[in-house]
Structure formats: C-alpha cells, structure tokens
Amino acid sequence: MKKQLAQVRAQIDALDQKVVRILNTRLKCAQRIGELKRGAKTRIYVAEREADVLRRVASANTGPLKPAALQAIYREIMSAAISLEKPLCVAYLGPEATNTHAAALRKFGSSVDYRPMATIADIFTAVEKGEADYGVVPVENSTEGSVRDSLDLFVETPLKIVAELHQEIEHTLLSREPLAKIKKVYSKDQALAQCRRWLQRHLPHAQLVDVDSTAYGVQIAAKEKGAAAIAPRLAGERYGVPVAATHIQDLKNNTSRFVFLGREASGSAGSGHDKTSLLVSLHHESGALLRALQPFNRRKLNLTRIESRPSKLKPWDYIFFLDVTGHYDDPAMQAALKELSRKCPLVKWLGSYPVAKR
C-alpha cells in the first residue's frame, strides 16, 4: 500500500506542475486582455463573459469534479485574472463577515480588494464617486421580500446593475450569554424579520434592536452584557462571540438576492440568458399598470418580478420595479421599452445582466 500511495502521489505532483503551468499561461492571456482593455478604457469585470466561461467549463466537465467545486475553482481563477488586469475594489455592507461580504466574495473571489461600508447608502455613494469600482447590495429575500433601503436608492443613482447572485442565508444567534440571560438582540431589520417566529418562541421578552448590519450587531454583542446578535456564524468567529443557537431562520431555503452595481452597464451583446431591471412610474388613471405591462406580454418577454414602492413625491403615488427576461439591446426589448416610454412618465433602465442560478 505504501508503495502504491507514493506512486499515485508522484502522479499528482507531476499533474500539479502541469496545472500551475497551464494556469500561468491562462493568466498571461488575461494580462494581455488587461492591456487591451486599459488601452480601450473598457470594463475589466465582464459578467457576461464570465457566465460564458462558466458554461463552457461546466459542459466540458465529465467528472468526478462536482459542478459546484468547478465553479468555485473558476471563480478564483477569474478573480486572479481580474487582479492582474487592474486592481479592483468592491464595496460591501460591513463590517467584515456580513452576508453581503460573503456574496461579494462569491462573485469576485479572494484576489480583489474589498471595502466595508457602514450603510447601504454608503455603498452606492462609494461607487458613484469612484472610490470603489463595484458595490454589492441585497435587494430581496425569499422570506421577507424586498430590501427597501436598497430599492429606494435606485431612484436617484446613475449606477447600473451588472450582475446578480442568489445566496442561501443561514442565521445564527451569537451571544456570550445563555438564552435565559439575553435581554437584547441586535441585527439588521431583514435578519430580525427572517427569524421572527423563532425569536417569539425562544426569546419572547428580548428587545429587538435594528442596526445597520448583522456583523455590526455582533460587534455590539461582543461588548454589551445581556446582548446577542443574529448574524452569519462566521461573524461570531471573526469577533469572538460564541454560537448560542443555529439555523434560527423561520423558513428553510431562506435565500437572498444580491445585485452588483457599477458605473458602466454590461455589454450590448449580453450573455444570451439575461435579465433587465427597470424602474417605472405610471399616470394616475385606471388600467395604467395593465397598459404598462402589455408591451412585454405582447413580445413574450417574461416579467419575473414586480414590486411597488411609494414614490415619496406625493402620498399614494408609486413607482414600480420590474425585472424582465432579455437584454436591453435585444430588438424585442428595445421595441417594448419604446412603447412603454410613450405610456409612462418615467422609465429608467437599471441594467441588464446574466440571470444567476438559483
């Protein structure tokens, strides 16, 4: 057995040499692409190309490599490629170890720079001002629905959505105290709401305190007597707060959708499997919403989401967020948008980007 083990390990050693050589050859190609992009002043991160690369390698995979492992490996390879093309900075809702941080790492890998921001509004501002190249914000959750803080910021921002990601969210109660001694639970409003029933059952007398992020709640719970936080388990490890209870979200498969914001929209070619996000306001007349949706329906453009928010300009005046399958530059989408613009006082294109796997 010892001899056989040594033989197979020698085989692995030889293969590793080859893998490293091939990786470096691939990275040299990325460096060349970087030169070309810098010369032409075009985008370094190209979501639609990454989606294409991931599709190609997935279809070449005959196993035993698992699809998720292949995807994670390629995430890191492309992250290394990006960092050789140009140092990129991604702003996320900090401090470290929030769910938004995890989503950012899953999208951009570990070779780019990350910048924690105190609030969701700060993420928009950092990208708008060019202090970060991209920003990541949560937009909706399968248990609690829309993240209002994020949606409202889309009204004013010139930024475009360049990518999306679905991430399963598991909540952990972190505290230095046993359950019986917990008087306050700190977390982001969305996380508190996703654990509402568990909190009623196990901590009915605790005060629930809404703070700017889950990991910020953990920083408070690290210092305050009688305090706990709802956050990712990793945040407990990061800030030295022990686990008091795990899997406390009310629904299994609790998933959040994150979007990535950039100053430049994704390319006109698209990935072939894209989604377009829009913000629309309507005239106050009966049937206005129906008429606004007809241009998509007639062209068989699938409406995957509609969400209303108060316009904040007048009471009972609303704006609508629409997600439609297809790319902004598709002829059918262009025709639908032209028609929509004739019917609505405001149509704002928020971005077109590859549809993420759920």
Ligand X SMILES: O=C(O)C(=O)C[C@]1(C(=O)O)C=C[C@@H](O)C=C1
46 is a contact residue toward ligand X (CB under 6 A): yes
Among the listed ranges 77-85, 97-105, 169-177, 281-289, the one in contact with ligand X (CB under 6 A) is: 77-85
Token pair, residue 219, equals 């920083």
For 142-296, strand residue ranges (E) read: 145-146, 160-168, 172-175, 184-187, 207-210, 227-231, 243-245, 255-262, 274-281
**Among positions 41, 50, 75, 322, the unique one binding ligand X when judged by CB under 6 A:** 50
Rounded to a whole number of angstroms, the minimum distance from the CB of residue 266 to ligand X is 11
Which distant-in-sequence residues (6+ apart) come within 8 Å of 346 by Cβ? 279, 280, 281, 319
Q: Tell me which H or E stretch contains 119.
A: none
Rounded to a whole number of angstroms, the minimum distance from the CB of residue 278 to ligand X is 25
Rounded to a whole number of angstroms, the minimum distance from the CB of residue 57 to ligand X is 10
CA 318 → CA 313, 344, 346, distances in Å?
9, 12, 11
Rounded to a whole number of angstroms, the minimum distance from the CB of residue 139 to ligand X is 21
Among the listed ranges 49-57, 203-211, 314-322, 341-349, the one in contact with ligand X (CB under 6 A) is: 49-57
The strand pairing partners of 185, in sequence order, are 208, 228
Rounded to a whole number of angstroms, the minimum distance from the CB of residue 29 to ligand X is 8
82 is a contact residue toward ligand X (CB under 6 A): yes
- Based on CB atoms, which residue is closest to ligand X, 33 or 234? 33
Q: Which residue is nearest to ligand X (CB)?
A: 81
85 is a contact residue toward ligand X (CB under 6 A): yes
The three-point CA angle 83-86-88 to 5° equals: 70
- Residue 284 in 3-state DSSP? coil
- Residue 232 in 3-state DSSP? coil
Among the listed ranges 6-14, 76-84, 146-154, 250-258, the one in contact with ligand X (CB under 6 A) is: 76-84
Q: Which residues bind ligand X (CB under 6 A)?
A: 30, 33, 45-46, 49-50, 53, 78, 81-82, 85
